[in-house]
Structures are given as structure tokens and as C-alpha cells.
Chain A
Amino acid sequence: MKLAMRTNGTFPFKLIGQIFAVFLKIGPSTFGGGYAMLATIEREIVHKKGWMDDEEMGDMVSIAGSAPGGVAVNSAAFIGYRLGGVLGALAAVIGITLPTLAIVLMLSLTYSAFKENAKVEAALQGVHASVVALILVAAWKMMRSSLFDSITWILAAASVAVLLFTGLHSVWLILGGPIVGMAAVWIRRLRNMEVRTEPERREDDQEPMMPEYYI
């Protein structure tokens, strides 16, 4: 970890500025999901700046992917914090969020201005269908990395049914899932059964075997 820039006791304007600038640049590339962006982060942070090594990058990916929130913002917070403490984390998160905030606001204002136009409205309906497709792709990737035995399949199917047919708030499912998971592992261990909490990795699998946390 290269913390040399923090050691002289003065406020690290230069470092904080650099962190902000790097993530400002990464922000617009966070299009289309976590992994596209992780590649950009790796290029900028590991190769160009030399701020982190590959092992730390691996730690970061697994933490950023499992904490709540988008993997892009989480990665930014992690890297920023490691490099420049709380201020570094703030600079990184603001840097990565600001461009998307501006872009989505501009898109929305542009859409509102031309909303009466039937063609614009039709185009947005087309986009709506493609967003459904992007969500389905994320769901498919998530299924591949999280559903691999009877318990996980039943849990997922039951949850979809609950969501479709009851008014139960999803926070109960999010709280209940880990309890079921821990109970299942505990029972299996008591009965001396094999305990597996992640699917087996296939040799031919190129993608990292972690939940596809699309941003």
C-alpha cells in the first residue's frame, strides 16, 4: 500500500485531488455493469497509477461486491479510503457519482422537453424493453453464481413466489435469507454432511466466480 503521500502531516490536497480526478474519469464508463467498470478501475489504479497491487484489487472486488450498494461506488469508497482515509473515500465517491448524476439529470430534462413528441415517447418505450433485458441478463448471471443446490433453488423460487403473490416487504426476505443460509450450514455440519457455500468453479469459466453484482 502506497501511503507515502500522507506521511508528512500536511493536508494532502494533491492526493485527494488526484483521487477525485481519477474517479471522475471512471464515472461515465460505469455503463452496463460492474465488470466493465472493474476493468477500467484496474487499468487506472493498478497499472497507470500503481496505487494498488493485484492482490488488494482482489480483496476489493470481493468486499465491494458483497456490501450493499453498487459495485462501482463501493470500489471507489474502498480505494479512496485505503489511499487517503475518510477524505479520500469522499473524494472518490463524489468523483464517481457526479458525472452519472449530471448525465441522468440532463437525460431527464431533455426527455421532459420533448415528451409530447410521439416518437420520443416511443423511443423511451423501446429503451424500457431493453432495460428489462439488461435486468434479465443480470438475473441470469446471478442465478449461475448463486443457485447450485436444492436449498438455494428452493429459496430463490419461494422468494419469487412471495414477491409476486404477497405484499411482503423485501426487507424481510433480505433478513431471512442469511438466517436460512446459516441454519442450513449449521444443520449440515451437525449431520457431518459436506458443506459448500459457493458453487464449484468450472475450469472453462472465464468470468470471476462471484455474484454478478451489476451496478
Chain B
Amino acid sequence: MLWELFVLFFKVGCIAFGGGYAVMSMIQREVENKGWVGVEQFQEIGSLSGMAPGSIATNSATLIGYGQAGIPGALVATVGIVLPSLLLIMLLAAFFIKLQHRLGVRSAFYGLRPIVTALIVYAAINFGFGHHSKIGELLNWQTFGTLLICGGCLFAIVKYKWHPFAVILASAAAGIVIF
């Protein structure tokens, strides 16, 4: 189990361009395929991970690892997702520091960034509303409340520049009122 956890999150770590949000749906897909975590449970894990400081993907890895194999599982999964970045950054820091100015590298990122954007947009849709299999199931109080709070948060962040932690606390209070 520990080895499986390590391999899965190592793979996720290798393609985690764009940080945490972009790989959330990939993590969900992989752990659901393995039957480790159900849809509802993943929603919980994602919410708890988003509340804590640090990358949402790394935090999810920690919690999924903990759920599968306790503290050793949490450690192994976290090491797995962080290790690829650590190795690659050491390589880059040692040898290729000016690589990012080459045209080939820049044009690769020119094509990669829209993909990462798409992955983050998809993560928002999937994480917010992806647990319903049919469109009809979306029409309920639950979805309405989520949209309402989500809209309020966007307003607070964009208009009033609230700190993310304040936004999260306020939405927890709003959740108690609405749901």
C-alpha cells in the first residue's frame, strides 16, 4: 500500500504544472479508480486541504495517504508528490538557470499555459459541481447555496481584497446559516 501511494503521488507530482489546483481532478480520478476515496469523501478532503496553508494537492495527498495507511501513509504520499519538484528544481538550480529565456522553452510554455488554465477552470467546475451525475440533480438548494457563497467570496476577494483565510472563515459561517 505504501509503495502504491508513493508511486501514484510521484506521478502526480511530475505533471503538477501550475501548482495544486490543476492536478486536483487528476488526483480525484486516480484515487476513485483505485477505489480508495469516494466522491463525497473527496469533496471533504478537498475542502479541508483548501482550508490549510500550503498546496491543495500536497494537502490532499497527505490526507489520502493518512486515510489509507495512517501516519506512514501520510508521510509517504506527501514525499511522493513533493519529490519530483525537489529533484527537478535542484537540477535547474545547478545547471540550467537561464533556460527560460530560450525560444524553444518559451514556446513550449506558450502552449502549456492555456492547458494549465483549462485544467484550473475544469477543477473549479468539477470540484464545485462534479459530484452530480446528471444535470437535473444540480437543481437543488445545495447547488444554489454553493453558488451563493461562491459568488460572495469572489466579491469579497476581488472588490475588497479579503485575505483568503478571512474568506474561508466567513464562508464556514455562511454555510452554517444556509445549509
Contact B54 A67 (CB under 8 A): no
Which residues of chain B from 108 to 141 have any CB-CB distance to chain A below 8 Å in the complex?
108-128
Q: At the interface, yes or no: B85 with Cβ under 8 Å from chain A?
A: yes
Q: At the interface, yes or no: A18 with Cβ under 8 Å from chain B?
A: no
Among A28, A33, A71, A181: residue with most chain B CB under 10 A: A181
Contact B44 A89 (CB under 8 A): no
Q: State the interface size on chain B (CB cutoff 8 A).
A: 101
Residues of chain B lying within 8 A (CB to CB) of residue A81: 89-90, 93-94
Residues of chain A lying within 8 A (CB to CB) of residue B15: 68, 170-171, 174
Contact B120 A142 (CB under 8 A): yes
Within 8 Å by CB of A134, from B16, B122, B167, lies B167
Within 8 Å by CB of B90, from A77, A123, A129, A143, lies A77
Complex Cα–Cα for A203 and B138 (A): 43
Interface string of A17-38 (1 = CB under 8 A from B): 0000000000111111110000
Complex Cα–Cα for A126 and B55 (A): 20
Contact A177 B48 (CB under 8 A): no
Given contacts A123-B173, A123-B176, A211-B18, are A136 and B154 in contact (CB under 8 A)?
A: yes
Q: At the interface, yes or no: B2 with Cβ under 8 Å from chain A?
A: no
Interface string of A90-109 (1 = CB under 8 A from B): 10010001011101110110
Output the least CB separation between B58 and chain A (Å): 6
Stretch touching chain B among A7-15, A42-50, A156-164: A156-164
Q: State the interface size on chain A (CB cutoff 8 A).
A: 96
B12 — nearest CB in chain A belongs to which residue? A68
Contact A215 B164 (CB under 8 A): no
B16 — nearest CB in chain A belongs to which residue? A68
Q: State the majority secondary structure of interface residues on A.
A: helix
A176 — nearest CB in chain B belongs to which residue? B115
Within 8 Å by CB of A64, from B78, B89, B112, B154, lies B89
Q: At the interface, yes or no: B57 with Cβ under 8 Å from chain A?
A: yes
A211 — nearest CB in chain B belongs to which residue? B113
**Residues of A near any B CB (own CB < 8 A):** 27-34, 59, 62-64, 66-74, 77-78, 81-82, 86, 89-90, 93, 97, 99-101, 103-105, 107-108, 111, 119, 121-139, 142-143, 145-147, 151-153, 155-157, 159-160, 163-164, 169-171, 173-174, 176-182, 184-186, 195, 197-198, 211, 213-215
**Residues of B near any A CB (own CB < 8 A):** 13-21, 23-26, 29, 43-59, 62-63, 66, 74-75, 78, 81-82, 84-86, 88-90, 92-94, 97, 100, 103-104, 106-128, 142, 145-151, 153-154, 157-158, 163-165, 167-168, 170-176, 178-179
Using A34-B19, A124-B175, A130-B167 as known contacts, list a sample of 14 further A-B pairs with CB atoms less than 8 Å apart, ordered by residue number in A: A30-B53, A31-B164, A68-B84, A69-B16, A70-B19, A104-B59, A137-B158, A146-B117, A171-B15, A174-B119, A176-B115, A177-B116, A181-B110, A182-B107
